[in-house]
């Protein structure tokens, strides 16, 4: 398997030899970045010789450069509303909001395109072979062996992925903070897909998660002020646009 540096070197060579005009994709990997010019579509991108058989595609994220400002503005608006809510709160509730603010402030977002980057899926389903026009960023990450726990809970952060472990199991050792949702969590897969998962004693369902997923615990509906009743969905949207680390 190629190292990251040789992968990037291969991409730079590929970019300099393309012969037709289309999209421009800047590939970001652990050791640096390289730009591919004239990439017509996802099939051409994902079958680059330097990428083929070396990339963990489930964890890769592609973003349209011109869509990133809107994603970043949404994040800033969400953070501003959390700060405003915290200013209206006190005690444990203000502390809980502050913890969620800390987590979401550290997230880097981009104008993610919710498309499959699996070369086999693109080959088998021509409709998934999206044409690329304009400028894009492609973030690559090594295969994950972790799960992120985030939201209104204690001890948020990265934990080891455990085969067969349920969402409720991951949350068991992380007490909920003031105002946290008790009955449901949201799983955000590396692909950006979301799933609402029952986790209370009365509705618990056995749901496992893929490595690299985020388990998000939001605030309960009764704890949110009327002015911010859509805050949970906006926080989840921020996380679906997250740039992988």
Q: In the chain, what are the domains?
A: 4-67+111-139 (3.10.20.700), 69-108+144-240 (3.10.560.10)
User: Phi first, then psi: what are they for 25, rounded to 5°?
Assistant: -120, 120
Contact 59, 212 (CB under 8 A): yes
CA angle 78, 64, 66 (to 5 degrees): 75
* Positions of the chain with pLDDT under 70: 1-21
Which helix (H) or strand (E) segment holds residue 46: the answer is: helix 42-46
pLDDT of residue 106: 97
Residue 161's nearest CA partner among 141, 149, 146, 171 is 146
pLDDT of residue 6: 52
**How far, CA to CA in Å, does 106 sit from each of 23, 43, 70, 171, 242?**
30, 33, 18, 21, 10
pLDDT of residue 54: 84
pLDDT of residue 53: 78
Q: What is the largest CA-CA distance in the chain?
A: 62
């Amino acid at each position: 398997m190629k190292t990251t540096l040789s992968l990037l070197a291969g991409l730079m060579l590929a970019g300099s030899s393309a012969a037709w005009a289309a999209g421009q994709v800047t590939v970001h990997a652990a050791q640096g970045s390289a730009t591919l010019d004239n990439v017509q579509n996802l099939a051409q991108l994902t079958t680059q010789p330097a990428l083929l058989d070396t990339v963990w595609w489930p964890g890769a994220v592609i973003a349209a450069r011109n869509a990133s400002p809107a994603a970043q503005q949404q994040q800033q608006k969400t953070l501003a509303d959390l700060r405003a809510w915290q200013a209206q709160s006190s005690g444990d509730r203000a502390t809980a909001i502050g913890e969620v603010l800390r987590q979401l402030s550290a997230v880097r977002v981009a104008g993610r395109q919710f498309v499959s980057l699996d070369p086999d899926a693109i080959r088998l389903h021509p409709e998934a072979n999206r044409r690329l026009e304009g400028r894009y960023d492609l973030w690559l990450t090594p295969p994950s062996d972790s799960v992120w726990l985030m939201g209104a809970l204690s001890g948020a952060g990265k934990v080891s992925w455990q085969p067969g472990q349920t969402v409720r199991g991951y949350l068991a050792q992380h007490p909920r903070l003031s105002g946290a949702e008790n009955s449901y969590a949201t799983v955000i897969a590396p692909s950006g897909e979301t799933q609402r998962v029952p986790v209370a004693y009365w509705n618990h369902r056995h749901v496992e998660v893929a490595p690299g997923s985020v388990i998000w615990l939001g605030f309960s509906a009764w704890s949110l002020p009327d002015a911010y009743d859509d805050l949970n969905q906006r926080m989840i949207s921020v996380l679906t646009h997250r740039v992988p680390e």
